[in-house]
Amino acid sequence: MKLLIIEDEHTLNQSMAAFLTASGYICESAMDFHSALQKIEVYEYDCIILDLMLPGGSGLELLKHLKENNKTDGVIIISAKDSLHDKIEGLQMGADDYLTKPFHLSELSVRVASIIRRKQFNGKSVITLGDIEIDTVAQTVQIKGTMLELTQKEYQLLLFFVINKNRVISKSAIAEHLWGDDMDMASNFDFIYAHIKNLRKKITVAGGEDPIKSLYGVGYKLQSS
């Protein structure tokens, strides 16, 4: 899986590349409009992470260029501009998703994975991790052939963990993923605990091995062998 990260802030570009590389992607970076344009013209990427404000031009111009040349690269816009207008314009121009800075890298990773799944037409919509099989189209989870009865939140939580397997995830990243950022955080943390407890129970009852590891009560990690 090849990704292109177009972001002019060097350290942020590096962080994204480091995190996504660790998740198993091949990452290339571009720091300005022209080098990004060159890369887009020459190579094909599974997903492009695109900042809108770039030295030398606008990210929306790059998006326009991609669409005019019938490129099928998935595009996720990351922007400091929180304006609804830019978001709508970006999505109308064919971007697949939109993330506002500052975002969690784990969230970015889930969004990228989702775009790539949607872009793949070979029907590979099932993610497997140990005993766990997640069908992302039907939104169902099976363990050793047993169907798990999960709530919407539990499903989202499990998918989030699976995509970010072997990574330490903070409670606030989980809360933002499940509820967005407009809810009272203190009470959300209790819900995370409750959801994770239920999820673990359902997995073990179905005969699976509980893969979620709690880290000192402040974070979580999904361990895969």
Interface residues toward another protein, by CB under 8 A? 9, 11-12, 15-16, 18-19, 22, 78, 80-84, 100-106, 167-168, 170-173, 179, 181-187, 190-191, 215-216, 218-219, 221
Min CB(102)–another protein separation in Å:
4
Report residue 86 as tokens: 């830019």
Residue 28 or 191: the one with the smaller Cβ distance to another protein is 191
Which amino acid, 98? Y
CA distance 49 to 97: 10
Q: Which is nearer to another protein, 101 or 201 (CB)?
A: 101
- CB 10 → another protein: shortest distance, Å? 9
Strand blocks (E) in 2-41 = 2-6, 26-30
The distance of closest approach from Cβ of residue 54 to another protein in the complex, given in angstroms and rounded to an integer, is: 12
User: The tokens of 185 are what?
Assistant: 């955080």
Closer Cβ to another protein, 103 or 155, answer by number = 103
For residue 38, give the nearest of 57, 14, 11 by alpha carbon. Answer: 57
- Cβ 104 to another protein shortest distance, Å: 6
3-class secondary structure, 109:
helix
Rounded Cα gap, residues 216 and 194, in angstroms: 16
CA–CA separation, 183 and 199 (whole Å): 22
Q: Smaller CB distance to another protein: residue 73 or 176?
A: 176
